[in-house]
A and B are shown apart, each in its own frame.
Chain A
Amino acid sequence: AQSVTQPDIHITVSEGASLELRCNYSYGATPYLFWYVQSPGQGLQLLLKYFSGDTLVQGIKGFEAEFKRSQSSFNLRKPSVHWSDAAEYFCAVGAIDSWGKLQFGAGTQVVVTP
């Protein structure tokens, strides 16, 4: 069965500092990986996805993620955070036969301090 682990429940980062959010997945075949962001009271917004090809993926809002098959990881990074990046971030995994089902991690809450 697929599973996704986000080891950090909560991260505090200073505005302007770099951010890295960890995601580890467990899946036997080729995973299809996603990062979403959720602001309070809102739905989820897709930041980026990895299906195949280049293992470094660029997304919206200056985010990028790197797929490392050997480590079963898909970590999200941003070089310099803005106060508006405060939100909850979710990593998700799907499979070629998911048919609409994504398996989500528990999420990482990011707090940005001045």
Chain B
Amino acid sequence: KAGVTQTPRYLIKTRGQQVTLSCSPISGHRSVSWYQQTPGQGLQFLFEYFSETQRNKGNFPGRFSGRQFSNSRSEMNVSTLELGDSALYLCASSPGDRGVDEQYFGPGTRLTVT
């Protein structure tokens, strides 16, 4: 099976702009989770989608949003970018039919905000 793919791999944006990141899960997986990874805060959970519904969310401002499509592909959007949003954004997929499961991660999207 193909692994989790994320596009684009790298992005450079300016403060105030918005950005959309995409994640395609492993075939058959219906859950997609998003994480932000920074040197200072480590890996932090953003939100999780299952069958097009957000089931869980972390403690991030409303500028961070996401959605999931019927084919389980997911996008996350960050509006009004701030310098502190510079990070590696990782998505992970899992079957999703249990409350906890092993997650398979994509390579990430490196976002730089200038």
Contact = CB atoms under 8 A, between A and B. Distances in A.
Given A94-B100, A106-B42, A100 B94 contact: yes
Contact of A104 (B4, B42, B47, B100): B42
The contact size tier of chain B is 20 to 34
Interface of A is mostly: loop
A99 B108 CA distance: 21
B103 A46 contact: yes
B43 A104 contact: yes
A67 interface: no
A34 interface: yes
Contacts of A105: 42
A98 B92 CA distance: 14
Contact of B45 (A90, A95, A101, A106): A101
A86 B86 CA distance: 25
B63 interface: no
Contacts of B90: 43-44
B99 A90 contact: no
A97 B23 CA distance: 23
A98 B99 contact: yes
Given A32-B100, A43-B108, A46-B104, A100 B48 contact: yes
Interface stretch (B14-22, B50-58, B76-84): B50-58
A60 interface: no
B42 to A, nearest CB: 5
A102 B42 CA distance: 12
Interface of A: 32, 34, 36, 41-46, 49, 90, 94-107
19 contacts: A43-B108, A44-B92, A44-B105, A90-B43, A94-B100, A96-B100, A97-B99, A98-B99, A99-B50, A99-B55, A100-B33, A100-B49, A100-B56, A100-B103, A101-B33, A101-B56, A103-B45, A106-B42, A107-B42
Given A32-B100, A100-B31, A104-B43, 16 more contacts: A36-B105, A41-B107, A41-B110, A43-B106, A46-B102, A46-B104, A90-B43, A95-B99, A96-B99, A96-B100, A97-B99, A97-B100, A99-B55, A99-B56, A100-B47, A100-B55
